[in-house]
Chain A
């Protein structure tokens, strides 16, 4: 099969739809289903799926091992932590927390970046110079340290984490959108819209923006995994979400000092992060190859 390519048979082009279907069928089914299974379904249905309240535990049941180990019980399939909270339930709610943080951060950061990128590319000149200097500076700031100062000053909270992530994320969107805008604004339909009397803001919103959406979707997908990793690292350091939020990074931090006696407390949330980020990366790569191959360097 591999030898039958477009190059060997130049006159033959398979119907587009069939080709696309074959592509879909071939590659991302595994990561996609894994992702749905791991992250989206439990996150959305958390209160229905999770067997226990993620914040309440009973000290009588503290540090129960997972079901297949001696002393484990089926009521807590993945064991309990040092406060007797069910690990599985906390992981399910943790999926919700991770998804929420990364979606909010990417949405806000992406919107800010897209807006500034559009203005930068469209107006050019001083606006462009100013915004691009801001982008350069923001890309050269060390993230984790920025988060640590912010937390040292205002304390850990959902808002702090979002601010840190937004400060970190917006610049990439701005750079991407600016580049695309520069080439789109030279096209004829923009000049025609101008002649027809469309305002600058209307041209940016109605004529340029729809043309950069594909690239934005690809970049956003590629960043979800990265943001989940970052958020969990911040939470692990105590600079992310505050306790007792069921965040994966916090759960791993709780398990660190118990590693000798209760390995399950930190192992399972770590596996959850790894599989989630892995499937998100595969999904992002696939989307990039199909929606916007020129983004290969991102």
Chain B
């Protein structure tokens, strides 16, 4: 187990390193790095400052050493668009909003997916099962950003139940969270359904039924507990997907999180901020993947020996 964890950990570090290499080289191989790092409107003193910060007059390997040592300390330079902020400071400031939205979306997708998945398994082959199938299919085929706009159009513009965009109380969070969680609902529901089917078929369920346990208790207590192992390990993957999915959702609903920050930064060609967000997000993404793999290996020992 330790060897497996150590190997996966090194692999994750390698992945982050590759990502930082991509960020570093993209700015430098495509001609003058200052043209990439700064927008056209930037003045000469801005050029001077950025050039000095990253040591751009030095040879490439020195530049890489400077980049790496600053990156490790979380220094990605100062933002060009948002004056007086460091790139990393901006990310730190916006990250809570993203985490809040992602957490709520995760909550909503569980609340929707769990009962539907369980019912679909219990009533396999009925109309209810078909409804679940249609939801799963739609979940994989609907573009998330479009779903967001449709929800906004129906529930915010026409019905006026929710505000169209921005961040505030709970009512601001519902539409973006549904948009963000939609795809996960489909995935999670299918997982719950298939693992419930497996459990419903097992011997101990027959035994509890023979013992005279009421049917609702058999399903919601005995079966669901055993069926939730597989979906549980999936949650961390979902968390990773939610992080990156927030880029799209936040820009639909103008939710002031990290996702919106990076899209705005790309539009303003604020490369310092872009690289900070990308490295931080990649780190979160890669390490949630690592956590999932470790969790899997813990639950299913066969994986460790592959």
Interfacial chain A residues near B14, Cβ < 8 Å: 133, 137
Q: Are A281 and B137 in contact (CB-based, < 8 A)?
A: yes
Chain B contact residues, majority secondary structure: helix
Closest to B33 in A: A153
The complex places the Cα of A260 from the Cα of B165 at a distance, in Å, of 13
Q: Does B5 contact A (CB under 8 A)?
A: no
Within 8 Å by CB of A237, from B152, B157, B248, lies B248
Interfacial chain B residues near A256, Cβ < 8 Å: 149, 252
The complex places the Cα of A267 from the Cα of B146 at a distance, in Å, of 8
Instruction: Using known A-B contacts A277-B141, A281-B141, determine if residue A238 contacts B282 with beta carbons closer than 8 Å.
Output: no
Within 8 Å by CB of B143, from A145, A153, A239, A270, lies A270
Chain A contact residues, majority secondary structure: helix
Q: Are A278 and B285 in contact (CB-based, < 8 A)?
A: no
Interface range for A: 35 or more
Q: What is the count of residue pairs linking A and B with beta-carbon distances less than 8 angstroms?
A: 134
Q: Are B143 and A274 in contact (CB-based, < 8 A)?
A: yes
Within 8 Å by CB of A274, from B146, B266, B281, B285, lies B146
Q: Are B281 and A273 in contact (CB-based, < 8 A)?
A: no
Q: Are B267 and A238 in contact (CB-based, < 8 A)?
A: yes
The complex places the Cα of A274 from the Cα of B134 at a distance, in Å, of 13
Q: Are B275 and A149 in contact (CB-based, < 8 A)?
A: yes
The complex places the Cα of A136 from the Cα of B290 at a distance, in Å, of 12
Partner-B contacts on A (CB < 8 A): 133, 136-137, 140-146, 148-154, 225, 229, 232-233, 236-239, 249, 252, 255-256, 259-260, 263, 266-267, 269-270, 273-274, 277-278, 281-282
* A-B CB contact pairs (8 Å), 11 listed: A137-B18, A140-B12, A142-B282, A144-B248, A145-B281, A146-B19, A233-B145, A259-B149, A260-B157, A266-B149, A277-B140
Supplied contacts A152-B36, A153-B271, A154-B30, 19 more A-B pairs, CB within 8 Å: A136-B15, A137-B14, A140-B15, A141-B15, A142-B282, A145-B282, A146-B19, A148-B262, A152-B265, A154-B36, A229-B141, A236-B251, A238-B266, A238-B267, A252-B146, A260-B157, A274-B141, A278-B138, A278-B141
Kindly list the 6 A-B residue pairs having the minimum CB-CB distance in the complex, ordered from nearest.
A270-B146, A153-B26, A278-B141, A277-B141, A142-B285, A140-B15
